[in-house]
Amino acid sequence: MNDLSNKVAYITGGSKGIGYGIAKTLYGLGMKVAITSRTLEAAQKAAASISKDQTRVMALASEVSSLADETKAVKDVINHFGKLDVLIANAGVGILLPIEKLSEQQWKQTIDTNLTGVFNSVKACLDELKKTKGYIITIASLAGTNFFENGTAYNASKFGLVGFTQALMLDLRKYGIKVTTIMPGSVATNFNDHIVSDADAWKIQPEDIGQIVSDLLNMHPRTLPSKVEVRPSIPVK
């Protein structure tokens, strides 16, 4: 096991769902976590839920589609915690509509958040991660290799994210930076306006993705799982 205590993670979209599950897991491993949301109120509420002791939890407002926002947020993390070891690029949106109904604005929002947003987060974090020989983990989806009806925007964003992350991995190995994309199937979150209920118990839970992140960070330095696909262990209901 690697010593993760005192490591610092920056988690976009960390106020709910998968991002929140990862943040809780990493905090439980002794790490310092900085979580973002579009609103500071949402980030602060999530941070307080992770721990009443805020010495290892930081809340920030940032819109990942803005490089300026991400650059400022990362600068604030460095000023507060002194360094950065891990980027979890998790923030995303899901707009699932047939092409006839998909507006230009909805297309742009999906690409700007799910793909360009990750580019912005990486660019904002890169110099600091080079210093610490850190780790970048993007949260993609099985929709990054499996297309489906009504998925033109979402599939395009996630196919692009998988390709971006795999190429990024090759770019950054020479700096000692590890890069992995996690591609979950059905996860029990409120993503795309879904309301989580007992009927979702068969799905992957957000803390399960947190466990995968923990396993990746504890991997021997010589080994890099560059792409992790994960599905529920029972068939879709």
The residues pairing with 60 across neighbouring beta strands, listed in sequence order, are 36
Catalytic residue among 10, 20, 135, 154: 154
What is d(CA 103, CA 190) in angstroms, rounded to the nearest whole number? 23
233: exposed, middle or buried (Cβ count in 10 Å: 0-12, 13-18, 19+): exposed
Summarised one tens digit per residue, pLDDT across range 181-232 is 999 987 776 665 656 666 777 788 999 999 999 999 999 999 999 999 999 9
CA–CA distances in Å: residue 210 to residues 20, 28, 71, 186? 9, 10, 25, 15
The residues pairing with 228 across neighbouring beta strands, listed in sequence order, are 182
Summarised one tens digit per residue, pLDDT across range 92-101 is 999 999 999 9
Per-residue pLDDT band for 3 (boundaries 50, 70, 90) equals: confident
Inter-axis angle of helices 67-81 and 117-132, to 10 degrees?
Answer: 30
100: exposed, middle or buried (Cβ count in 10 Å: 0-12, 13-18, 19+): exposed
- Domains by residue range for the chain, with CATH: 8-230 (3.40.50.720)
Closest by CA position to 4, among listed 188, 135, 187? 135
Per-chain mean pLDDT for the chain? 93
**The pLDDT of residue 21:** 96
- Which of the two residues, 32 and 198, has the higher pLDDT score? 32
Report percent pLDDT > 70 for the chain. 93
CA–CA distances in Å: residue 118 to residues 17, 50, 53, 114, 161? 17, 24, 29, 7, 8
Q: What angle do CA 43, 95, 232 make, to 5 degrees?
A: 80
Per-residue pLDDT band for 7 (boundaries 50, 70, 90) equals: very high
Decide if 154 is catalytic: yes
Average pLDDT over residues 104-123: 98
Q: Say if residue 112's pLDDT is above 70.
A: yes
Q: Say if residue 56's pLDDT is above 90.
A: yes
**The pLDDT of residue 187:** 78
| Assigned token pair, 236 | 């879709």
Reduce the DSSP state of residue 133 to 3 states and report it: coil
Residues 84/125, Cβ–Cβ less than 8 Å: yes
| Assigned token pair, 125 | 């974090």
- Which helix (H) or strand (E) segment holds residue 129: the answer is helix 117-132
Q: What angle do CA 144, 149, 152 make, to 5 degrees?
A: 55
The residues pairing with 136 across neighbouring beta strands, listed in sequence order, are 87, 179
Reduce the DSSP state of residue 170 to 3 states and report it: helix
Average pLDDT over residues 54-74: 97
**The pLDDT of residue 215:** 96
**The pLDDT of residue 196:** 64
Residues 58/33, Cβ–Cβ less than 8 Å: yes
